[in-house]
Chains A and B, each alone.
Chain A
Amino acid sequence: MTQTATTDAGTPTELEPLLSARQVTMRFGGLVAVDKVDFDVYPGEIMGLIGPNGAGKTTFFNCLTGLYKPTSGRVVFNGALLPPKPGRVVRAGVARTFQNIRLFANMTALENVMVARYCRTSSGPLTSIVRGPKYRREERETEDRATELLDFVGLPEVAGNLARNLSYGDQRRLEIARALATDPKLLLLDEPTAGMNPQETRQAEELIFKIKDRGLAVITIEHDMRFIFNLCDRVLCLVQGRPLVLGTPDQVQSDPRVIEAYIGTGAQEADGQVGRDA
């Protein structure tokens, strides 16, 4: 059923996909958390990933970012196979945020962003000790870039504050700034508006559009349907690890199977069959 959905989803077919997942499967013992997901993301596209709790959305994210090594299937990014190592995935150009915010709590906002420049900078221990002009230039660039990104996400005035002292909404933005600092081509957002009030959600929407304008592709997991349907070019609905529907927001919104999946899952969840969605 995925195949049919892919064809009539209005995608710019002349482009090579930025990321394509083929038959990605993740098993934990007997539990199949992600089941043969096929999935393409094109440059400059915002992709939504929806599904009831425990559908395997975050697990799928973890497969894409190297936290998990898929049991079978493969993920190709930018023409090369994605290695199952988080560090190398970031280098390749995929960055992410976390569902439960994982900032470096006792570092300042600026430092948080600067850390993420790690993989795009190269000063080693010796240059750090000697501190030649190259080192100083790189440090300055790191700081400038971090400051610029804090501006970009709308947090210029909290640069010197500890991450733990920021408001919830600001922490989410800081996470995005930190992810952007790795110079990604693809940004994965895991529930970027969870716990936000409507106004903050609207700001987040604007921010994601701005990110798209920078030429990045974005995949976002979200439970807020209005948010998803406002924002996304295409939406994939996962149910019990299996892709259910892939299409434009309108198509997904009107698909009876999606509605059924959302209403029908309550009972299964109570049975405890699902829940590997950490």
Chain B
Amino acid sequence: MSLPGIPVAIRRRYGPVARIVTIACGVIIAASAYLPWAYGSDALDNVTYVGGPSFIQFIALGMGLVLPALVVCSIRWPAGFGRTRVGWIRGARALATGLLIIFVVIAGAISVQLGGTININYGAWVGLAAALIGFVATRFLVQEGAPTVNRLKTPGWLSILAIAVVMLVMLFVAYYALDQSNPGTFVTFIVYTGVGVAVLLRTGALGWLTAATGAHRRVMLLAAFLVAFLFPFTQGGSDANMSIAAQVLVFAATAMGLNIVVGLAGLLDLGYIAFLGSGAFVAAMLSGTAMATFDVHPPFIVTMLLSGCVAATLGLVIGSPTLRVSGDYLAIITLAFGEIFRLSMNNLDGSDGPDLTHGSRGISDTGDLNLFGFDFGATHTIAGIEIGRFANYYFILLIWLAIVILIFSRLNNSRIGRGWVAIREDEKAAEAMGVNVFGLKLLAFASGAFLAGVAGSIKAHVDISVTPDSYVFLQSSFLLAAVVLGGMGTVLGVLIGATLLQLMPEKLRFVNEYRLMFFGLLLVVMMRFRPEGIIASERRQLEFHDEDEELAERLDDNLGPSTGAVAVEGASR
């Protein structure tokens, strides 16, 4: 967000004026919520009323009021509280930028949904103008130094309270976002969320939250799991939403496995989808339905492990060239393996090879799971709330995702994780220091593949059918994008990346046609401007911004007090 800076002298001179203008703009934006934004009721969540703000408008109202509040605070407590520096103006600038983006998005959504800018009513124009002026005005304000709120001592009860609030907000965000059938509202809401997080980050509040919740990691993780567990109960038996949620979980669990390979070991795998696919095919072949290849009925636990092992074996095969090859060449090799997998699955149809997969038609019925008498295909009623088929799968996937995250973060923060970092940093030196480079690379491939294989065995049942064309290169690049865009080597980042990448196309049916094109564009833009991803692991950030000495110094501060080795990375973020 560093636009070309305005000279300090000019900022000093116009600073006071800019403050007043910013405050005014915030108030105007808030007031614009009471004005009609559109002429038609189909845009967003009906923003046509005078004096009756819709939910989307209410958020704008709230954000509008925060802007003057931040500026006032910066006048009242310019140095923060005591020795704690707060990023008031940093936050205000982020918020103003965010509001501008929001109003552009809103104007865009209205014109797309109603057909032309003519449908934008004066309220939205007022808001947009105010946001633009506010954006310019905040450029004239002088920013504080980096906030130090994260060093604040927090009493235990406050941390727990913070965790509870964060979790409730997350539950609400997930619930609300999934609930939107109107793409305009969905996009606007996502942008709101992003802006909110950005403001928290810039003021330093996010740093405080991280520090406060980090002190109670277990509580935090438990709470997060609980919230995710409760999520289906907010859906009132809506199978459509739960189907999306289940797909998100499959995708996230797979991406997390890839995160071991790419994020931890630093090996680029462009054929990762083959592992998910092999797991799914193994599970489908052994599913015991009329379509299954083999007439055997092993218990699902056995199938699951077998799927994982088959995938892991493939992983070892694909990983074995790492003994001689690395970097770009390795990436191409993995890509070639992925293609070989797809072509083979297509060819094993009985005419060009043994009939294992029924060729391109795939195995079209895998049946539903039945574990310990619990039928995943049926609807169950718990506490008066219907839990449908996809919700059943959601639960098992959630447990699996939790296991994957546990494996990921424990591997990361161990002797093995240290070895991986060392290999990424300097392979030759790592070898000369006795790190088993080849073994660790193979381990990354095999463990990543195993996790994907197991996920595939569940996916086979969620999807009912398994066909080769669900496991193509494009899917591999989606997974890779989830890891890279979210933030390689982090848990939270990859979860966010996977969720966004899977949720966006589901909710944005109107751009479905252009979805891949935007995806390509997104990759290019992201690599250009933020290659370390949305949530950057600090070490990765340094790897991408090698010359940034200031960043390195800052990380010294952050890494310094940690007694555990690689604790800062990944899990704790």
Contact = CB atoms under 8 A, between A and B. Distances in A.
The answer on A and B forming one complex is yes
Interface of A: 65, 67, 86-87, 90-91, 95-96, 98, 102-108, 110-111, 114-121, 123-125, 128-129, 131, 135, 138-139, 142-143, 160-162, 164-165, 178-179, 182
Contacts of B416: 123-125, 128
Interface in B551-566: 552-553, 555-556, 559-566
Interface string B534-561: 0000010011000000001101100111
Given A102-B428, A107-B425, A162 B552 contact: yes
Given A111-B418, A128-B414, A182-B434, A162 B559 contact: yes
Nearest to A122: B415
B434 A91 contact: yes
B273 interface: no
Among A90, A96, A106, A121, the most chain B Cβ lie within 10 Å of the Cβ of A106
B434 A118 contact: yes
Given A118-B419, A128-B414, A87 B434 contact: yes
Contact of A139 (B415, B428, B443, B542): B415
A174 B428 CA distance: 17
Contacts of A164: 542, 552
Contact of A104 (B411, B415, B422): B422
Contacts of A107: 418, 421-422, 425, 539
A102 to B, nearest CB: 4
A179 B429 CA distance: 11
The 6 closest A-B pairs by CB, nearest first: A119-B434, A90-B434, A160-B560, A128-B414, A104-B425, A102-B429
Interface in B434-485: 434-437, 443, 447
A108 B542 CA distance: 13
Contacts of A119: 433-436
B431 interface: yes
Given A125-B443, A160-B560, A164-B552, 5 more contacts: A106-B542, A110-B565, A114-B565, A139-B565, A161-B559
B513 interface: no
Contact of B556 (A111, A138, A165, A178): A165
A115 to B, nearest CB: 5
Contacts of B560: 108, 160-161
Interface of B: 406-407, 410-411, 414-419, 421-422, 425-426, 428-437, 443, 447, 539, 542-543, 552-553, 555-556, 559-566
A90 B433 contact: yes
A133 to B, nearest CB: 15
Contacts of B435: 87, 115, 118-119
A86 B426 contact: no
Contacts of B539: 106-107
B425 A105 contact: yes
A222 to B, nearest CB: 20
A98 B555 CA distance: 26
Given A128-B410, A128-B416, A160 B562 contact: yes
Contacts of A106: 421, 425, 539, 542-543
Nearest to A98: B429
Select the residue from B406, B422, B437, B542 with max chain A CB neighbours within 10 A. B422
Contacts of B431: 86-87
Contact of B432 (A67, A114, A121, A139): A67
Contacts of B425: 104-107
Contacts of B432: 65, 67, 86, 90, 96, 98, 102
Contacts of B437: 87
B285 to A, nearest CB: 28
Contacts of A139: 414-415, 565
B426 A102 contact: yes
A131 B422 contact: no
A118 B429 contact: no
Nearest to A102: B429
B555 A162 contact: yes
Contact of A118 (B407, B415, B559, B561): B415
Given A108-B559, A118-B418, A160-B560, A129 B410 contact: yes
B553 A165 contact: yes
A92 B142 CA distance: 60
Most buried by A among B429, B447, B552, B565: B429
B399 to A, nearest CB: 16
B429 A104 contact: yes
A110 B563 CA distance: 9
A121 to B, nearest CB: 6
Given A123-B415, A125-B443, A111 B428 contact: no
Contacts of B542: 106, 162, 164
25 contacts: A86-B434, A87-B434, A87-B435, A87-B437, A95-B434, A103-B429, A104-B421, A106-B539, A107-B425, A111-B418, A115-B421, A116-B433, A118-B415, A118-B418, A118-B435, A118-B436, A119-B434, A120-B434, A128-B415, A143-B565, A160-B561, A160-B562, A162-B542, A162-B559, A164-B552
Given A86-B432, A115-B418, A125 B411 contact: yes
A90 B339 CA distance: 40
A117 B435 CA distance: 9
B265 to A, nearest CB: 12
Contacts of B561: 160
A164 B415 CA distance: 21
Contacts of A179: 433
Nearest to B410: A129
A165 B552 contact: yes
A115 B411 contact: no
A254 to B, nearest CB: 36
Contacts of A128: 410-411, 414-417
A55 B131 CA distance: 69
A142 B429 contact: no
Contacts of A115: 418-419, 421-422, 430, 433, 435
A222 B147 CA distance: 47
B491 to A, nearest CB: 15
Contacts of A161: 556, 559-560
Nearest to A130: B410
B415 A182 contact: no
Contacts of A116: 433-434
A91 B436 CA distance: 10
Contacts of B562: 160
B404 to A, nearest CB: 11
